Chains A and B, each alone.
Chain A
């Protein structure tokens, strides 16, 4: 009864259900129920269009209650086979996701959201590779392959130009594969030339090679795309130790630090609210450019006390602030006045379409990270806004799209600070100025709801905290189904991806990263291969 057709194997027929609750499908007797795993894709052939859905539940049914009370002699394989699918049968519950119509218009528009249900007894088939390809696209100049659906060999592709139009997030517990996936996304953006990336690389994981959990060295972006990636560092020594010659050593002038940067550091520097308020007073008093330098030089002399009285800053706040800011003086990249304008250099690279990885070297604590990321981003933001405004709608003059990658995002985007930080602003509105964020975090519940709701595409690895799951799935349709899926992900390399860059939520086994073959697929050619190609080219010339 089961015919193999190009559309995929027949599974059964529609027997009931609704659009909101999903469709019930009675399995054919020849369809083995144990092969019907939750999360697999099916296609339902309606009269006018085809429906694309995902199995969300599997149940057992019997036509006659008596059968369940006095079961037939199933030790006899013949009787067991006769009863299967007739007296007893399997039912799968299918959540409808999309419709794929056959007419010319809809082929152009691609899959559409589902607004109706297929008629009774419509035939249900396994989704074939071609169906999945129609939904998730083929790898081409826009689509980047990120992984395969569970139990399938088809590619799931992200629409990268769509992806970079909005801010996106990668979430998951530590060790689930966030960094690997982020590396994939960055490669996708580099490969498809959709945007320039600025990566605040707290743990030096993106630019140069790192060890994977299997103790294998995997290449970084700079190794894969030497001409398209520049590595900037705050710590030249660390870079040298790892055998990397950085393209630029970043210095931050203390004259570049503004009171609101300190406000963002409140938590990491352990400052009190009055101490943060006092920063504004000092900045007004000493001048915006010199306040930090001067403040750190203040001594215990009596005139300091007078100054505090004058600015009506309480002594304890002053001490608290002093203790906190003293930590900044331990950051060696912080100099009174930077020799070169780092922001200008970064922008120069980004304008040429070269992606910048900013490594933090040994300064992998949050103070340095939050401070530098905030200072640089704020100024880049200003430049982008100026340029976008100057372009006045002239597309050619518009700045090249920029994606800023930040880790530990909840430090920048928590509800207390997201209103003030530049990152909160970017997440909410910078799309207009061609700048978006790629946030990476293990505690999505720590991120402001308003920011979370603005994220276009979310990639969720295993999360087991209820709050984190809720915050990631906020505002998604079919939340309860996705919640079960999310909680059942394997601990590594399986992610639920949903949002703007994909037509429907999908669980993928993420694409391989780290083997020689995977590098080749990314477009990397090793020295021997390049030499051979060059020789061939030379031969071709003459």
Chain B
């Protein structure tokens, strides 16, 4: 199992927010994450990441005027890494139940993850298993988050790296999208251009 990269700090049925343990090291956009709620393992796709001050009312100020390098700023002000934090938003796209957890279910879990659940990036074979079926695409396409098309294409690009035949996977996904977006050709074309292998 891969190393945990953060934990849930805000949780909902369709979306959760996690904070990274490492500043400035959020998982890539569109990558598949997992967290668990007891028996249930919950899968999500990274749809947004941000680094901000831990206190909403205190905005960071520019400090590098005298510094030659960016790293110098952090060396000079070690407290910065404690005052800033990196968070990422994850869209829940499925879950798996039971001890084997072999069969991913491409719909929302009965309960959202608990706050402070650890979040792990999925390993290649897990990604491959989860994206064997593309039934999660309607969830992604239907979300109200901004730049959905970017998220979908990023997710497919990420997932394709886990498949042996990258092109075949993308074509399969493209065909799925062509069916889902048959009424909206402009959107389809936009996504296809972003994922072309």
Chain B, residues 168-180, CB within 8 Å of chain A (1/0): the string is: 0011001101110
Q: Is the CB of B196 within 8 A of A76?
A: yes
How many angstroms between the C-alpha atoms of A83 and B174 in the bound complex? 8
Q: Is B111 interfacial (CB 8 A cutoff)? A: no
Q: Is the CB of A82 within 8 A of B185?
A: no
Q: Is the CB of B192 within 8 A of A78?
A: yes
Q: Is the CB of B178 within 8 A of A66?
A: no
Most buried by B among A29, A66, A67, A78: A78
Given contacts A85-B175, A86-B178, contact A72 B189 (CB under 8 A): yes
Q: Is the CB of A70 within 8 A of B185?
A: yes
How many angstroms between the C-alpha atoms of A283 and B117 in the bound complex? 119
Most buried by B among A76, A85, A86: A86
Q: Is the CB of A86 within 8 A of B192?
A: no
How many angstroms between the C-alpha atoms of A73 and B186 in the bound complex? 12
Residue ID in chain A nearest B173 by CB atoms: A82
Residue ID in chain B nearest A82 by CB atoms: B174
Which residues of the other chain, A, contact B76 by a CB distance below 8 angstroms? none
Q: Is the CB of B178 within 8 A of A78?
A: no
Q: Is A490 interfacial (CB 8 A cutoff)? A: no
Q: Is B54 interfacial (CB 8 A cutoff)? A: no
Partner of A83, one of B170, B178, B193, B197: B178
Q: Is the CB of B197 within 8 A of A87?
A: no
Which residues of the other chain, A, contact B183 by a CB distance below 8 angstroms? 64
Q: Is A81 interfacial (CB 8 A cutoff)? A: yes
Which residues of the other chain, B, contact A82 by a CB distance below 8 angstroms? 171, 174-175, 177-178, 192
Q: Which residues, 52 to 94 on A, are CB-close (under 8 Å) to B?
A: 63-64, 66-67, 70, 72-73, 76, 78-79, 81-83, 85-87
Q: Is B132 interfacial (CB 8 A cutoff)? A: no
Which residues of the other chain, A, contact B185 by a CB distance below 8 angstroms? 64, 66-67, 70, 72, 87
Q: Is the CB of B175 within 8 A of A79?
A: no
Which residues of the other chain, A, contact B167 by a CB distance below 8 angstroms? 78
Partner of B175, one of A29, A64, A66, A76: A29
Q: Is the CB of B182 within 8 A of A63?
A: yes
Return B174 CB to nearest CB of chain A, in Å. 3
Residue ID in chain A nearest B196 by CB atoms: A78
Q: Is the CB of B179 within 8 A of A86?
A: yes
Given contacts A72-B189, A82-B192, contact A64 B174 (CB under 8 A): no
Return B15 CB to nearest CB of chain A, in Å. 29
Residue ID in chain A nearest B175 by CB atoms: A86
Q: Which residues, 152 to 180 on B, are CB-close (under 8 Å) to A?
A: 167, 170-171, 174-175, 177-179
Q: Is the CB of A78 within 8 A of B189?
A: no
Return A526 CB to nearest CB of chain B, in Å. 56
Return B32 CB to nearest CB of chain A, in Å. 22
Return B180 CB to nearest CB of chain A, in Å. 10
Which residues of the other chain, B, contact A83 by a CB distance below 8 angstroms? 178
How many angstroms between the C-alpha atoms of A63 and B188 in the bound complex? 14
Q: Which residues, 411 to 468 on A, are CB-close (under 8 Å) to B?
A: none
Chain B, residues 83-127, CB within 8 Å of chain A (1/0): the string is: 000000000000000000000000000000000000000000000
Which residues of the other chain, B, contact A70 by a CB distance below 8 angstroms? 185
Residue ID in chain A nearest B167 by CB atoms: A78
How many angstroms between the C-alpha atoms of A81 and B182 in the bound complex? 15
Which residues of the other chain, B, contact A29 by a CB distance below 8 angstroms? 175
Return B173 CB to nearest CB of chain A, in Å. 9
How many angstroms between the C-alpha atoms of A416 and B176 in the bound complex? 68
Most buried by A among B175, B182, B197: B175
How many angstroms between the C-alpha atoms of A85 and B171 in the bound complex? 12
Return A482 CB to nearest CB of chain B, in Å. 38
Given contacts A78-B197, A79-B196, A82-B192, contact A87 B174 (CB under 8 A): no
Which residues of the other chain, B, contact A64 by a CB distance below 8 angstroms? 182-183, 185
How many angstroms between the C-alpha atoms of A103 and B161 in the bound complex? 50
How many angstroms between the C-alpha atoms of A85 and B174 in the bound complex? 11
How many angstroms between the C-alpha atoms of A86 and B197 in the bound complex? 18
How many angstroms between the C-alpha atoms of A82 and B193 in the bound complex? 11
How many angstroms between the C-alpha atoms of A29 and B174 in the bound complex? 12
Residue ID in chain B nearest A88 by CB atoms: B178
Q: Which residues, 72 to 126 on A, are CB-close (under 8 Å) to B?
A: 72-73, 76, 78-79, 81-83, 85-87
Partner of A78, one of B170, B177, B182, B188: B170
Given contacts A64-B185, A73-B189, A76-B196, contact A81 B178 (CB under 8 A): no
Which residues of the other chain, B, contact A81 by a CB distance below 8 angstroms? 171, 174
How many angstroms between the C-alpha atoms of A78 and B178 in the bound complex? 13
Q: Is the CB of B178 within 8 A of A87?
A: yes
Partner of B192, one of A63, A66, A67, A79: A79
Return A80 CB to nearest CB of chain B, in Å. 10
Q: Is the CB of B175 within 8 A of A78?
A: no
Return A532 CB to nearest CB of chain B, in Å. 57
A-B contact pairs, 22 of them (CB 8 A): A29-B175, A64-B182, A64-B183, A66-B185, A67-B185, A73-B189, A76-B196, A78-B167, A78-B170, A78-B192, A79-B174, A79-B189, A79-B192, A79-B193, A81-B171, A82-B174, A82-B175, A82-B178, A85-B175, A86-B175, A87-B182, A87-B185
Which B residues fall within an 8 A CB radius of A?
167, 170-171, 174-175, 177-179, 182-183, 185, 188-189, 192-193, 196-197
7 further contact pairs, Cβ within 8 A, besides A72-B189, A85-B175: A67-B185, A72-B185, A78-B167, A78-B171, A78-B196, A82-B175, A82-B178
Instruction: Give the 7 A-B residue pairs with the shortest CB-CB distance, closest first.
Output: A82-B174, A86-B178, A78-B196, A86-B175, A63-B182, A79-B192, A87-B178
